[in-house]
Structure 1
């Protein structure tokens, strides 16, 4: 799929190679189903004739007087010779009309002011975004092996040109950057792969391992990229070292306490910059379960959903173990290449088994933090409800925190509008770049409705899942939308992963257990013949109103692939990466054979534009 292009003024990050070679350049004032012809007289003849027919020094379709009927979007801004559109080169009569045909999505009419046919008669209604041409890049590890689970996590730089992929069960005993990928003697040690996109396409740039690779460390469990793609933080939740920040990495005294590794890129070369541990490491805390990174790469938040302290708020006593699996979040900051802890963050209503830190998100400037506690048990609904109630098991909650200077404080306590037992609200969270749009996934939510803002209360589709959009205005959060899949199904787990564009107007929501056998974009959603294949749903906000823009599947949909295990979008919403960590092809690299199914759970990633 090509993600439809966004308005250029919305974000100051440009995506290269976004010129689409499949759009028509002519929007006709009068057009029919059978043919596309101009019926007006002199100006149309001048504008559509080869060369500079009206002798004004401008190519005719660059002439402002022709702008109402000549629109170029595909290439070099010139409609050459006898061509009917602009294909990006200067060869006359080179069959551009077949290369630049408009997508025909509906009623066979390209309405005035549009660039494609969206099936209705409304003009200037964003059809150019709704009918974009699709491209899919299929990506595998350079050392594909069964059970590596490549695609467990994905992260994109703001410009969509750098992609990081985690494979937490990869088995090489290599350490550092660029080591031996063929060795397979460190089961489940994990690896991360970095890809970059140029005019020639995607290629792998780096193969990253921990500096202290160990069996069962699960390096690559989670990861995050800075906006420019030059800082990457990777967690290893199985790491057992007991030391603190940049301490000794060699002991294994605290099994599964977890660790994180910071890598930086100079030019095209990656190197490890820091080794991070919790300030109060404990066995089985799973530090690094969730990760978020600010746009400048200088603020990181890491969740440890099984941390056991009973402390509340920010900066409490983390030394006791009185609230098993309550969870915590740790904030680190970088200055001059040196990382240090900034905050130890707990819920305002800490309780055992709440899993605070199951998910985390940071605003672009790193000053707003959202934390999911997917097992929190209050019956409250909405924003600012009763936190002391503990009668709704596994309902879930989200907490937001803000930073002033170096001081963090909790700013809100957020629940679903239809809080229910086992809904898992907060299983995933995502924040827009400015920190004013928050999206929350609740994979266990059970309403059977479809679409936007339907009936939340019917509970007819167990574990179908839902997502909730909240907006911040005047310092107060409020719910703005309740989102369900367009093909809601029992146990689909809609809301499994979330990704949001920089402006908050594009949101990708996955359902890793969705069952359709459709492939690519816009396929048949009603088929349920590929159990747990997974899907991603793309939603767009315009003037405060949300609508579904696309239904996205893998190009090689397979039962059990769990497409949507991870998702990421570029800042402008025009590039999306999706991981399917149980995909089974034994192909390697970019664009390989998708059909062989010879490497169970090897994993794959799909990039859509």
Structure 2
């Protein structure tokens, strides 16, 4: 079952003080209350709980209440004879409906405490706060984030970091390459988070924006990094990095980790790079890191479908996606993918997502203009400017083919369906697609789509595939829909398609932590994240999440990433302004504007 951070923090308040009886026979511990308890945070999502002894007790067990089996104890730590325990929250996200209790035991029996729920302060105190090891203003740390499947590896991009260093572990304080970009890798070991690596491109240059997009393999050992501003005129894999003849053509770098050491494995370019193609503006890896999809929204070919003519540049910024496969340590080009209705300025590739097996690919085209609705409508009707579309491709017998052309159920001009995020479940049967410019005033799940009184409030659409046929499953809005909240600026669905995290960078609430006041619009563009869960075929909102230190234009939610089971959530806030460095620093120091931060829930 899901154990949530909000619920787990309930354990912070769990304790016992029970009476005993004198005599030669020690009675079973008596029932006990939870008043005498102390808790202190000792790390990211980790607490030490201390309670008074229950007379006669020889062992204590901190438990999670299983709502489906109320009498069962789901242990949160090993049994202890001490009156304290460390509770790790590292593998848990959120669930405010769960309660916690302690069992006191001896040879004569056992007794359970009453249950306890946490307060907001306890929740907020456990949120992980990550900064770069070389925080500087305008670095935009957190513009991209990626979690491994187990939530124990976190990669963070800072696309405007300025160091001229190259490779792994270089000089971080050399600010000679403005906006070159960097990536920081953090790992969790024995419930303690530490920075493992500081990664730069092998050819760091100003305005490359290395780290603008990231993807991790499931085990966190393979990392793909996009640098859409890279300028080399090289083509294919392993070309000449020093040739800067194609400005903003873009590149992708692949890194691998062996025995905790990171090395660059590949330098990848489009097969025919051109200036301003922005190759690498979106990237996705399959689970084992053997298939890589790379988008180039500025690519200009008028080709249609799979492996068409790449040389004809008559459809400016129509966009393309390139698929690469790895055998051993060698990467090679697998497919060149275009839309089935390629047109200029559609920006096919604004978002990409691969399924875990690498056999399903979803591609967003933020400025596609068709007014079609639903699945496989009329692609040729361009009466809804920049409404957006999503295309699904499948791989069979080493050949890719388009499976579906997907539009929103309420297609309208400038909705930007597919602009920032498309996200597939592990088996490729669930798809979440964002439309940050959607205008409905609906709230929650499957509300009224026709009332457009909330300009740019945003929406997310969930689709399901059954026997090769796609259908819309849900129309998702925020619980506090407002104009220009841009709900859907980022979104990710969990491996099994049962948890969905959605970001809204324009949300203005001054609330902090989890479950705060959504109606307080005192901090403009502070941003928020909403978590939804699927149970018994129905989606519902589970949590409303803010940073613990919201600030104006922090843009909390510049990117989101979920662990495979949806139990750990990383949220980037590239506009956050603290001058702190490392993990758990001073959140109140706003001396480094837009240095950026990442929060772990």
Maintained 8 Å contact 2:439/2:457: yes
Is structure 2 residue 3 aligned with structure 1 residue 5? yes
- How many angstroms apart in 2 are the aligned matches of 1:354 and 1:107? 46
How does 1:174-253 map onto structure 2 within 5 Å? 174-244=165-235, 245-253=237-245
Does structure 1 residue 383 correspond to structure 2 residue 375? yes
Aligned-residue offset at 1:135 = 2.5
Q: Equivalent of 1:409, from 377, 384, 401?
A: 401
The answer (yes or no) to whether the contact 2:216–2:224 under 8 Å persists in 1 is yes
Question: Structure 1 residues 206, 396: closer, same or farther in 2, change over 3 A?
Answer: same
Q: Distance in 1 between matches of 2:433 and 2:136?
A: 33
Q: How many Å apart are 1:109 and its aligned residue?
A: 12
Does the CA contact (< 8 Å) of 2:216 and 2:223 recur in 1?
yes
Deviation at 1:46, TM superposition (A): 5.6
Report the CA distance shift for 1:420/1:270 in structure 2 as closer, same or farther (over 3 A): same
Q: In the alignment, which residue of structure 2 is the partner of 1:75?
A: 77
Tell me the equivalent position of 1:148: 139
TM-score of the two chains, using structure 1 as the length reference: 0.84
Aligned residues: 548
Q: Does structure 2 conserve the Cα–Cα contact (< 8 Å) formed by 1:25 and 1:73?
A: no
CA distance in 2, matches of 1:335, 1:171: 34
Query: Which residue in the other structure is 1:540 paired with?
Result: 533
Corresponding residue SS for 2:215:
strand
After superposition, the Cα gap between the structure-2 partners of 1:133 and 1:252, relative to the gap in structure 1 and judged at 3 Å, is: closer
Give how far 1:405 is off: 2.5
Map of 1:357 onto structure 2: 349
In 2, Cα distance between the equivalents of 1:529 and 1:363? Answer: 40
Report the Cα distance in structure 1 between the residues aligned to 2:114 and 2:30, rounded to whole angstroms.
18
The separation in 2 between residues aligned to 1:114 and 1:233, in whole angstroms, is: 49
Structure 2 residue 489 is matched with structure 1 residue 496: yes
Q: Secondary structure at the match of 1:583?
A: coil
1:443 and 2:436 aligned: yes
Residue of structure 2 in register with 1:82 after alignment = none
Distance in 2 of aligned mates of 1:416 and 1:302: 24
> 1:48 and 1:362, CA in 2 relative to 1: closer, same or farther beyond 3 A?
farther
- 2:62/2:100 contact within 8 Å kept: no
Q: What residue is the counterpart of 1:566 in the other structure?
A: 559
Q: CA deviation at 1:164?
A: 0.4
CA distance in 1, matches of 2:180, 2:435: 30
The root-mean-square deviation of aligned C-alpha atoms, in Å, is 3.5
The answer on whether the counterparts of 2:186 and 2:194 sit within 8 Å (CA) in structure 1 is yes
Task: Give the distance between the partners of 2:537 and 2:339, measured in 1 at CA.
Answer: 31
Select which of 415, 419, 438 maps to 2:411: 419
Question: CA offset at residue 97 of structure 1?
Answer: 14
CA distance in 1 between counterparts of 2:534 and 2:98 reads 24
C-alpha distance 72-24 of structure 1, shift in aligned 2 (>3 A): farther
Name the SS of the counterpart of 1:71 in structure 2.
strand
Per-residue CA shift, 1:19-70, capped at 9, x if unaligned?
Answer: 98437599xxxxxxxx999xxxxxxx8685899x99xx999999xxxx9756
Higher strand fraction (1 or 2): 2
Question: Please, which runs of 5 or more residues in structure 1 have no aligned partner?
Answer: 7-14, 27-34, 38-44, 79-88, 120-130
Deviation per CA, 1:171-230: give whole Å up to 9, x if none.
Answer: 000000000001111100000000001124211000000000111111111110000000
Equivalences for residues 113-512 of structure 1 within 5 A? 135-244=126-235, 245-427=237-419, 428-512=421-505
Q: How many Å separate the matches in 2 of 1:212 and 1:97?
A: 45
Does the Cα contact within 8 Å between 2:404 and 2:470 map onto a contact in 1?
Answer: yes
- State the distance in 2 between where 1:511 and 1:99 align: 29
Q: Which runs of 5+ in 2 are unaligned?
A: 20-26, 33-52, 64-68, 102-111
Q: How far is 1:107 from its partner?
A: 13
- 1:23–1:73 contact (8 Å) kept in structure 2: no
- Three-state SS of the structure 2 residue aligned to 1:22 is helix
Provide the rounded CA distance (Å) in 1 between the counterparts of 2:566 and 2:138.
Answer: 31
The structural deviation recorded for 1:71 is: 2.8
Question: What is the alpha-carbon distance in structure 2 between the residues aligned to residue 591 and residue 600 of structure 1?
Answer: 18
With the length of structure 2 as denominator, give the TM-score of the two structures. Answer: 0.85
Match of residue 50 from structure 2: none
CA distance in 2, matches of 1:525, 1:19: 21
1:591 aligned partner: 584
Task: Name the counterpart of 2:48.
Answer: none
**Deviation at residue 500 of structure 1 after TM alignment:** 1.5
Q: Please tell me whether the aligned partners of residues 508 and 569 of structure 1 are also in contact (alpha carbons under 8 angstroms).
A: yes
For each residue in 1:220-269, what CA deviation from the matched residue of structure 2 results, as whole angstroms up to 9, or x when unmatched?
Answer: 11110000000000011111101121011001100000000000000110
Q: What is the rounded CA distance, in whole Å, between the counterparts of 2:563 and 2:406 in structure 1?
A: 27
Query: Residue 370 of structure 2 aligns to a residue in which SS?
Result: coil
What secondary structure sits across from 2:12 in the alignment? coil
